Structure 1
Amino acid sequence: MKQINLFIKRLFDFLGSLMGIGILSPILLIISITIKFSSKGPVFFKQKRLGKDGKVFNVFKFRTMVTNAENIGNGLTVKNELDNRITGIGRFLRKLSLDELPQLFNVLLGNMSLVGPRPPVTYFPYDGYQNYPEWAKKRFLMKPGITGMAQVTVRNSVPWNDRIKVDNKYIDSFSLVLDFKILLLTIKKIFSTDNIYMDV
Structure 2
Amino acid sequence: MIYRFVKRVFDLICALIGIIGTSPLWIIGIVGILLSDWGPIFYTAHRIGKDNKPFKMYKFRSMKVLKTLKKGAEASLRPNEDRIFPFGHFIRKVKIDELPQLLNILNGTMSMVGPRPVAQDQFDMFRYGKWNEAARVPVGLSGPAALYDFIYGDQITDEKEYMEKVYPIRRELEYTYVQKAGIFYDLQMVIYTVICILYAVFGKECTWMLNEFVEDAKKTMNE
Contact 2:149-2:166 within 8 A present in 1 as well: no
RMSD (CA atoms)? 2.6
2:155 maps to 1:148: no
1:78–1:133 distance in 2 versus 1, CA, 3 Å = closer
If each structure's helix is expressed as a fraction of its own residues, which one has the higher value?
2
Contact 1:61-1:101 within 8 A present in 2 as well: yes
Deviations 1:159-180 (A, max 9, x none): 4343222111111111111111
Deviation at 1:67, TM superposition (A): 1.7
Moved more, 154-163 or 109-118: 154-163
Moved more, 10-19 or 162-171: 162-171
Residues of 2 paired with 1:154 and 1:25: CA distance? 26
Residues of 1 paired with 2:78 and 2:174: CA distance? 22
Indicate the SS of the match to 2:119.
coil
Task: For structure 1, list consecutive stretches of 5 or more residues without a partner in the other structure.
Answer: 196-200
- Number of residue equivalences: 187
Residues of 1 paired with 2:168 and 2:128: CA distance? 10
Residues of 2 paired with 1:165 and 1:59: CA distance? 23
Map 1:102-141; keep pairs closer than 5 Å.
102-126=100-124, 132-141=127-136
2:22 maps to 1:24: yes
Residues of 2 paired with 1:79 and 1:27: CA distance? 23
Deviation at 1:79, TM superposition (A): 6.2
Contact 1:125-1:160 within 8 A present in 2 as well: no
Task: For structure 2, list consecutive stretches of 5 or more residues without a partner in the other structure.
Answer: 154-161, 207-223
Q: Which residue does the alignment assign to 1:42?
A: 40
Residues of 2 paired with 1:119 and 1:180: CA distance? 20
Residues of 1 paired with 2:149 and 2:87: CA distance? 26
Indicate the SS of the match to 2:45.
strand
Deviation at 1:54, TM superposition (A): 0.4
Report sequence identity in percent: 31
Residues of 2 paired with 1:159 and 1:71: CA distance? 26
TM-score of the aligned structures, taking structure 2 as reference length: 0.75
TM-score of the aligned structures, taking structure 1 as reference length: 0.83
- Say which structure, 1 or 2, has more relative contact order (CA 8 Å, 6+ apart): 1
Q: Which residue does the alignment assign to 1:179?
A: 186
